[in-house]
Each structure stands twice: as C-alpha cells, then as structure tokens.
Amino acid sequence: MKKLTPSKLSVTYGKGITSTHPILGRTYTLTHSDETGELFLDIRTEVATEKIGPNRDEVVGTWVCSGNGCYYYAYVFIDNGNYSPSVTERRNKIFVKELPLALEAIRYGDRELFKMHQTLDQLPIYIKFDSANPKINRVDYWGTFANYK
C-alpha cells in the first residue's frame, strides 16, 4: 500500500465549512493528478463537480447519521455498463488498491476535525462501488478512520 505524502495533498474548504465544523453536511471530493501524483481534497457542503474529470476516478464521501448511528459513506464510480468487462474489473481493482491511500488523505487532510471530534475516528466507513455489473456493484465496510492515521 502506498503511503500518503502530505506535501502532495492540497485541501480546500468551501463556504460554510471550517477546519472543525460542521460535521453533518460536510462533503469530501478527493481527486488526483496522474501526471504529478498530487491529491486534491475539496471539503464543502456539496460535491465539487467541476473537479471531476472524464475518467471518473474521484472518491466522494460524507458523514451520515441515521437511526442506526453515524458513519462515513463514500462513493466510487466503477462503470455504468459502457465499459468492457475487463475495464470494469481493472477499475474495481484499482479502486480497491488505492482506497487506503484515499482514506488516509481524507483523514490527514481533515485532521483538525478529527482532533476536535475524536469519536469520528471510531465510526465505520462504508464504500459504495457503483457498477452495472452486479458482482462489482456493492457497499463494503472499510474499517474506521483510526485505521488510516
């Protein structure tokens, strides 16, 4: 697993978001540059759609609280049926391989929030793998942010 290089992570906070508040309504859009290896984390009240490229290799997440408790829920786009099965499989494998780095980047990039609200490190992380292929279309448990410090 690759480890995060903090100097290659840029964090931007949107209107109404500070480094420590709010928790609910906080939406994370993590993108990257294939050329430079830089990571870009936008923390806003909505998805940073203008940062999403044609390859659709972003990770988008938010905090959710329901009757079952609170958790972090993220979304990755694998395919919509327009890719060949081999491309779909490859995209799935790449996301599975790179998600630990993405989660570490989100945890590090928003470290002041985690410092202020330490219980967030113990909440479960669920990742939705969105695919037209029923074997790949799923929601997986990815531990807690304490695993990605």
Domain boundaries defined on the chain: 6-148
What percent of the chain shows pLDDT beyond 90?
89
Interatomic CA distance for residues 69 and 124, integer angstroms: 10
CA-atom Rg of the chain in angstroms? 15
Residue 109 in this model has a pLDDT that exceeds 70 = yes
pLDDT tens per residue, range 30-88: 999 989 999 999 999 999 999 998 889 999 999 999 998 999 999 999 998 888 999 99
- DSSP assignment letter at 23: S
Interatomic CA distance for residues 102 and 26, integer angstroms: 17
Interatomic CA distance for residues 109 and 9, integer angstroms: 7
Interatomic CA distance for residues 11 and 19, integer angstroms: 10
Q: What would the two tokens of residue 43 be?
A: 């923390």
Residue 1 in this model has a pLDDT that exceeds 60 = no
Residue 17 in this model has a pLDDT that exceeds 70 = yes
The 3-state DSSP class for residue 8 equals: helix
pTM of the model: 0.95
